[in-house]
Structure 1
Amino acid sequence: MIPARPEFVPDPTLSREEMETLQRDIAHAARFEDEFAFDPAAVSTAETTLVPQEERPLVAGVDQAFLDEKAVSAVVVARGPEIVERASAVTDLSIPYIPGLLSFREGGPILDAFENLETDPDFVVFDGSGRIHFRQAGLATHMGVVLDVPSVGVAKGLLCGTPRESVDERPEGWRTAIEANDRVDAPDGTVIGYAFQSRQYASSRKINPLYVSPGHRVSAATTVDLVERLCDSYKLPEPTRLADAYADEVKRDYTA
């Protein structure tokens, strides 16, 4: 799978100002509305569902592991519970981590893994932010626009924006909108994603919510619905959980 918008491929040699300008251009090119061919009700990783296996969309999970100054990027594509393809790449990292500019450090390595992928997924789940970003162009938005694929970002922490309600000690399935504030290049109150409590337990109400936001070609509300359908028995959606495990496997094999 190769970039559909090569002009947006992250270039780590750009200055910070140039990177931020490119992110604003990417946010302008991104479509934060539903634009995909699959039925959202067919998205599931469960073994048993009313939707026949052959009618389920191909869903890819993306995650990375790190080894010194290398990124181990992993993409796992599944149709329902069946893994269809896995691809990976081990790539040198060019720049250090800079808050808000993660895609310029890790985006190129992720695209290297996608280049080794023969399957064209219908939908991609990234471990990172999408529209919940200072310039509305987190990793999931940047990669989603470059590949022109429906995508979503699932982050473990909140980068920016304000939850509409307190996120503390919420029950499983609860959600609240994340609204733009003065740290986001969007009008105040714009819904840029959701806090979503994917798992909670009666014995200990200390599990934090996920922060789910559109990458590209998916609306905020649909984004959190899709992620909910992909959180099978774990806090994290199954596609990125599988990608995380595969990245660790590739890392072990690389160092063996």
Structure 2
Amino acid sequence: MRPVRPEFLPDPALSREEMETLQFDVAAAADWTDAFDFDPRDVSLGTEASLTGERPLVAGVDQAFLGDRGVSAVVVSRGDTVVERVHAVTDLEIPYVPGLLSFREGGPIVAALEKLSCDPDLLLFDGSGRIHFRQAGLATHLGVVFDRPSVGVAKSLLCGRPTEDVDGRPEGWRTDVVADDTVENADPGEVIGHAYQSRQYDSEPIINPLYVSPGHRVSVPTATDLVSRLCGGYKLPEPTRRADAYADEAKAEYR
């Protein structure tokens, strides 16, 4: 893969004001409608015959850390079959700042995605998409850079407001996450993602929901539908679970 919109590449050398300005430009360039060629019903983990055609290639992206270096791992699967795994290790040039994650972790992720020989139909990131202060989280930022359908799956809520209480909800439950005064350039109450309960126990410990939002070229409801098809009985979707495990495996090689 190669960046399609290199003018949006996250540059950690920018000032904070310049980073935030770039994020506004990324959000303006993002497409939050379903603009892809595959049928969402074909996205699943099963090995049975596809409902409408060949299963899309789904790339899970996750990170591990070695001091001041980031280990970015990408695992591409078609259904249950892993097609390709790549990773990259680069320096992390800035500390973590809420809302500026793509400028800290974007370098190793871009380097890893550039190593892919296959061409994923969908990118799934461990991080936010449109649920972001400037509607340009990691999944949106890099989805726009590569002009690839992308979805962000976060374990905690960065901003916005769920329309219902999220505690103790049953498996499969979802509710809208809407923009509030922490989300810029969005109408109050505009739906920017979902809280999605991917797994739940009948007893303790109670599992918290995921926060799913479109990155680029995917709508809010479709983003959550895709994630629901990829969880396979676990809290996290299988593509990012595989990427997380591979990131730890790759990290061990450098110790």
Q: Residues 198 and 209 of structure 1 are in contact (CA less than 8 Å); yes or no, is this contact kept in structure 2?
A: yes
Q: Residues 60 and 239 of structure 2 are in contact (CA less than 8 Å); yes or no, is this contact kept in structure 1?
A: yes
Task: Find the counterpart in structure 2 of residue 233 from structure 1.
Answer: 233
Q: Residues 176 and 194 of structure 1 are in contact (CA less than 8 Å); yes or no, is this contact kept in structure 2?
A: yes
2:157, 2:199 → 1: CA distance? 17
Q: Residues 169 and 205 of structure 1 are in contact (CA less than 8 Å); yes or no, is this contact kept in structure 2?
A: no
Unpaired runs of 5+ in structure 2?
none
Q: Residues 152 and 223 of structure 1 are in contact (CA less than 8 Å); yes or no, is this contact kept in structure 2?
A: yes
TM-score, scaled to structure 2:
0.98
Task: Find the counterpart in structure 2 of residue 193 from structure 1.
Answer: 193
Count of aligned pairs between the two proteins: 254
Correspondence 1:81 to 2:80: yes
Q: What's the C-alpha RMSD, in Å, of the aligned pairs?
A: 1.2
Alignment of 1:118-197 (within 5 A): 118-185=117-184, 186-197=186-197
Please report how far the alpha carbon of residue 223 of structure 1 lies from its aligned counterpart in structure 2 after TM superposition: 0.3
* Structure 1 SS opposite 2:124: strand
Q: Residues 53 and 79 of structure 1 are in contact (CA less than 8 Å); yes or no, is this contact kept in structure 2?
A: no
- For 1:29-55, what per-residue CA distance to the aligned partner results, in whole angstroms no more than 9, with x for missing partners? 0000100000100000123x3417970
Alignment of 1:58-73 (within 5 A): 58-73=57-72
* Structure 1 SS opposite 2:159: coil
2:11, 2:71 → 1: CA distance? 18
Please report how far the alpha carbon of residue 221 of structure 1 lies from its aligned counterpart in structure 2 after TM superposition: 0.5
Task: Find the counterpart in structure 1 of residue 21 from structure 2.
Answer: 21
Letter in 2 for 1:207: I
TM-score, scaled to structure 1:
0.97
Task: Find the counterpart in structure 2 of residue 115 from structure 1.
Answer: 114
1:46, 1:91 → 2: CA distance? 35
Unpaired runs of 5+ in structure 1?
none
2:127, 2:69 → 1: CA distance? 18
Letter in 2 for 1:211: Y
- For 1:87-141, what per-residue CA distance to the aligned partner results, in whole angstroms no more than 9, with x for missing partners? 1001111111111001000011100001111111000100000000000000000
* Structure 1 SS opposite 2:61: strand
* Structure 2 SS opposite 1:142: helix
Task: Find the counterpart in structure 2 of residue 216 from structure 1.
Answer: 216
Segments ≥4 residues shifted beyond 3 Å: none
Letter in 1 for 2:3: P
Q: Residues 39 and 52 of structure 2 are in contact (CA less than 8 Å); yes or no, is this contact kept in structure 1?
A: no
2:78, 2:52 → 1: CA distance? 7
Task: Find the counterpart in structure 2 of residue 5 from structure 1.
Answer: 5
* Structure 1 SS opposite 2:249: helix
Task: Find the counterpart in structure 2 of residue 204 from structure 1.
Answer: 204
Letter in 1 for 2:63: Q
Q: Residues 62 and 239 of structure 1 are in contact (CA less than 8 Å); yes or no, is this contact kept in structure 2?
A: yes
Q: Residues 42 and 53 of structure 2 are in contact (CA less than 8 Å); yes or no, is this contact kept in structure 1?
A: no
2:62, 2:208 → 1: CA distance? 20
Letter in 2 for 1:5: R
1:228, 1:58 → 2: CA distance? 16
1:54, 1:252 → 2: CA distance? 38
Q: Residues 76 and 85 of structure 2 are in contact (CA less than 8 Å); yes or no, is this contact kept in structure 1?
A: yes
Letter in 1 for 2:33: E
